[in-house]
Structure 1
């Protein structure tokens, strides 16, 4: 089993965010240093200066050539699936197939209220969004009649560069989220707040979800978010991490 190491794209700032030149330097340095991937997070409302994940990935794609690009994670239940399919179809084409989509269900009542979406339907929203995204990213005509979307021969092209579509990974730590990761997506991303022991236990549940859905658990991908503090002085590094 191979292990790939990516790096987080800074997206939230108490003061003025970096400009395009500073981001370009960061993205290109990450690629030249051999990182496998760049990952950014997603929020609709936030007290910090919080930059949009899709826009950051687009700029990263424009100034790099091989490093993979992904969200870790996007609150998918808050997004419109056909619109997102169009955005990510374009981004996958422009990046030559380097896009990965980490998703979550979210937990902010203010964001659901602000987006005009029922928070008590967020599981159904998430499920249907994943289904519609997967169908539309094939580039084929899609007819779909669900709770939230009605499509009649809807087409989004170009199709994803890598058949059958952009890889989708689920974030979350509750047992229900872990089961959904195995059932609905191509893998699972664990939050930075869980321990290695919890990671191992959670993998078992993710694999159970895949097996119940008739999928091969060995084909899933797994990721772990880790906070790091770099300093010449180990004590200072620990203090920075709190």
Structure 2
């Protein structure tokens, strides 16, 4: 952050490491060199640190790729400044043990750990949305108390136990930030009650503005405030024509059946958020653009975050700033192949953004 910078213009810029078998040169065409492995995903993380990003998202998938917590523990000693955003699926690990794992990672990173909370079905289980989010809310409250060093006596619908916090607490005695997303009414209420950063998938500017207003009102009813994050892919090239050509090339080997198979293999392949990504594809023009520079083609071969900001450096920067203007403070970006696109964004756009990580100890951390 430079002297005289307006804090309202500062945002957190994160990249994504493809732990869940989600890296391609051509969408839908597996490439052994890009398959999720310790070496490949580690190299993406190191590229993000070298490129100057604030944080790296480590995603979670039961059937896909690498275990998030194990990977985070392995990569943490290799980093000097980059923060980890480790995804966890609520219920996969008993909450008291999950707190112990996270406290250990938090100490290893000296407080450079935060959590992306995912409320999805567990392996072998299907639970309707409303009870699944009630379970998630119980889990989040328990986890936060334990990481803050408080004992827990749980007497809820899903968890009933009494336990002291683990001796090893979160760094500084304060729980990591909870990033959380979801579009359904149950998801929004869970975020309003227990999240720190409400994380959105790609959408039109008008829709993002509406969701931000709704979430601020919901959080206020709980006596809370939320910060907002935006998860989106990017394709940036020196010219708009080159960026659009790169987007088209990415889909050039994809057939419909392969795309459907990829979209359906995730445990959260049918949620309100995923359905909304499908609606964006349906509303897009013949080239896949649903509004200026927002391209939905990636969603043809991906469950979840299914659109990209496409353009030259000025256009990509302007689009990010437009989202900032309606409340986004954190961006989690990715692109294909992930390491190559990380380098392109770091070269063409990142130096032009005032950015610093969100911090549990204050609105921003400018010490790194």
Q: Which TM class, normalised by the smaller chain length?
A: 0.7 to 0.9
Q: Give a deviation string over 1:136-175, Cα, whole Å, max 9, x none.
A: 1122333333333333342213111144311112111223
Aligned length: 229
Distance change (3 Å), C-alpha of 1:18 and 1:152: closer
| CA–CA separation in structure 2 for the residues paired with 1:88 and 1:163 | 12
TM-score by length of 2: 0.57
What secondary structure, in the 3-state scheme, does the structure 2 residue paired with 1:176 have?
Answer: helix
Deviation of 1:22 (Å): 3.7
| CA–CA separation in structure 2 for the residues paired with 1:134 and 1:171 | 17
Q: Which moved more, 1:136-145 or 1:92-101?
A: 136-145
Give the structure 2 partner of residue 6 of structure 1.
Answer: 14
Is 1:165 paired with 2:175?
Answer: yes
Q: Give a deviation string over 1:74-112, Cα, whole Å, max 9, x none.
A: 332444212211111111111111111111322x5xx45
- The answer to whether the 8 Å contact 2:36/2:66 transfers is no
Give the structure 2 partner of residue 126 of structure 1.
Answer: 136
- The answer to whether the 8 Å contact 1:180/1:209 transfers is no
Give the structure 2 partner of residue 179 of structure 1.
Answer: 189
Is 1:101 paired with 2:115?
Answer: yes
Q: Give a deviation string over 1:2-30, Cα, whole Å, max 9, x none.
A: 21111011123245535434433332221
Is 1:227 paired with 2:233?
Answer: yes
Deviation of 1:68 (Å): 1.1
What secondary structure, in the 3-state scheme, does the structure 2 residue paired with 1:66 have?
Answer: coil
- The answer to whether the 8 Å contact 2:18/2:36 transfers is no
- The answer to whether the 8 Å contact 1:100/1:166 transfers is yes
Q: Which runs of 5+ in 1 are unaligned?
A: none
Distance change (3 Å), C-alpha of 1:6 and 1:146: same
Is 1:202 paired with 2:211?
Answer: yes
Higher relative contact order (CA 8 A, sep 6+): 2
Give the structure 2 partner of residue 74 of structure 1.
Answer: 88
Distance change (3 Å), C-alpha of 1:175 and 1:64: same
| CA–CA separation in structure 1 for the residues paired with 2:191 and 2:127 | 22
Give the structure 2 partner of residue 60 of structure 1.
Answer: 75
| CA–CA separation in structure 2 for the residues paired with 1:51 and 1:160 | 24
Give the structure 2 partner of residue 36 of structure 1.
Answer: 54
| RMSD (CA atoms) | 2.4
Distance change (3 Å), C-alpha of 1:230 and 1:51: farther
- The answer to whether the 8 Å contact 1:70/1:101 transfers is yes
